[in-house]
């Protein structure tokens, strides 16, 4: 079997080799074997093209293609979110991702281990600062480990931000051999290099130093003190999607630093579809991988909720009117749609309710009931079915 991003497997063994290993040679070796060969992979989890990884499934001649659509990791609720990303963002409308029989939660529930998955190391660092600064500090585990995350490099970059004489008098030598090249020119030269080479990881670490300045040593010490080596001992797991690929967690909080999807409708919808087409495929794959790490609960960002709205999912359901037409003081219930000043019509037999939803940043949409006019916006001519027919 050959994973779809085979060159990335070899990069773990040859991290300092710029070519890593000849993918063509590896494929030729496997193909030359006189036996049946099975290539297994998910092209929608290809997130390392920036390192030269390629999709082996598209390179090798084959005789049969079989699609594995059933997931046993999560139920239909989480599967629906993943499938919607593929449909809206990548135009995949067949071979739909299906969930198992166990139920899941996508509106704010939490169970078991909670993992906060981000697009960038910047957000991971911000999470670490927040959790380690609580009273008492939360126990955190950075997925992949602190050293792989690069706290020591952040510390070295902070040293470069100091005047050369201060570094010398304080005996603050730069430990990283690569960063040591900038001991004389300093941080400004390193920043220029990061911009010209488009090294986003380095740019992110420089931005962290720019933001926190002299607090860096204190924050790094605080993060190290709050970090636990075993994830089973942590209150929160934090990390990037790149580090979490291949893993699974009871609850996943999707950070709001992925591709931003604004709330759009009407005339803006076509413009939004054009913007989706122009977004690099890896960005949608990152969001898809983040969502499909969840086993039981998924806390979505507001941007991800907006993406579901593009597919027509607005978390609405129809209920019997009952006592919903009046609040506890007997006054009419106001419509929950932002900007609407109307109230529910007590003559209706049914009423449309927006279910409450808690986002990954802990902001909460309380939901509520929709008036007839707002119901029409979502249901069109079907809105008449929610009213009793008039008797002539």
Return the bridge partners of 326, or none: 332
pLDDT level of residue 270 (50, 70, 90 thresholds): low
Q: What is the pLDDT of residue 314?
A: 87
For residue 132, what are its two tokens? Answer: 């380690």
Q: What is the pLDDT of residue 24?
A: 65
Q: What is the pLDDT of residue 43?
A: 74
Tell me: pLDDT of 268 over 70: no
Q: What is the pLDDT of residue 346?
A: 64
The model carries a pTM of 0.82
pLDDT digit string (tens) for 38-55? Answer: 777 777 777 666 666 666
Tell me the torsion sign for CA atoms 282, 284, 288, 291: positive
Q: What is the pLDDT of residue 391?
A: 44
Q: What is the pLDDT of residue 192?
A: 95
pLDDT digit string (tens) for 130-175? Answer: 999 999 999 999 999 988 899 999 999 999 999 989 998 999 999 9
Neighbours of 347 (CB within 10 A): 11
Tell me: pLDDT of 123 over 60: yes
Tell me: pLDDT of 96 over 90: no
Q: What is the pLDDT of residue 387?
A: 60
Q: What is the pLDDT of residue 124?
A: 95
Q: What is the pLDDT of residue 11?
A: 40
pLDDT digit string (tens) for 331-374? Answer: 778 888 888 888 887 666 778 889 999 999 999 999 998 888 88
Tell me: pLDDT of 19 over 50: no
Q: Please choose, from the candidates 87, 45, 5, the residue with its C-alpha nearest in 3D space to the C-alpha of residue 285.
A: 45
Q: What is the pLDDT of residue 331?
A: 73
Q: Are 328 and 382 in contact (CB under 8 A)?
A: no
């Amino acid at each position: 079997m050959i994973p779809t991003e085979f060159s990335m497997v070899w990069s773990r063994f040859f991290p300092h080799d710029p070519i890593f290993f000849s993918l063509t040679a590896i494929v030729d070796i496997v193909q030359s074997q006189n036996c049946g060969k099975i290539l297994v992979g998910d092209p929608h989890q290809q997130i390392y093209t920036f390192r030269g990884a390629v999709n082996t499934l598209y390179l090798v001649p084959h005789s049969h293609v079989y699609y594995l659509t059933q997931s046993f990791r999560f139920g239909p609720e989480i599967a629906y979110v993943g499938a919607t990303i593929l449909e809206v963002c990548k135009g995949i409308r067949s071979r739909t991702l299906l969930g198992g029989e166990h139920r899941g939660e996508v509106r704010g529930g939490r169970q078991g281990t909670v993992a906060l998955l981000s697009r960038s190391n910047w957000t991971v660092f911000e999470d670490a600062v927040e959790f380690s600064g609580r009273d008492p500090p939360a126990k955190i585990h950075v997925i992949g480990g602190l050293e792989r995350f690069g706290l020591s490099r952040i510390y070295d970059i902070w040293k470069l931000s100091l005047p050369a004489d201060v570094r010398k008098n304080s005996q603050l030598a730069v430990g990283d051999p690569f960063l040591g090249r900038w001991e004389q020119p300093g941080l400004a030269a390193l920043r220029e290099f990061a911009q010209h080479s488009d090294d986003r990881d380095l740019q992110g670490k420089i931005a962290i130093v720019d933001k926190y300045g002299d607090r860096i040593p204190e924050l790094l010490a605080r993060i190290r003190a709050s970090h636990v080596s075993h994830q089973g001992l942590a209150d929160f797991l934090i990390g990037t999607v790149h580090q979490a690929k291949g893993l699974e967690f009871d609850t996943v909080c999707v950070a709001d630093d992925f591709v931003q999807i604004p709330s759009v409708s009407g005339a803006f919808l076509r413009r939004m579809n054009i913007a989706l087409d122009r977004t690099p495929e890896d960005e949608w794959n990152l969001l898809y991988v983040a969502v499909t790490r969840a086993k039981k609960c998924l806390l979505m960002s507001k941007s991800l909720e907006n993406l579901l709205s593009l597919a027509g999912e607005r978390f609405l359901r129809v209920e019997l009117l009952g006592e919903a037409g009046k609040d506890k003081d007997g006054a009419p219930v106001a419509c929950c749609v932002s900007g609407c000043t109307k109230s529910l019509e007590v003559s209706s037999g049914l009423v449309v309710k927006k279910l409450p939803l808690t986002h990954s940043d802990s902001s909460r949409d309380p939901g509520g009931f929709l008036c007839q006019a707002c119901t029409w916006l979502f249901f069109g001519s079907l809105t008449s079915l929610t009213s009793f027919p008039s008797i002539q």
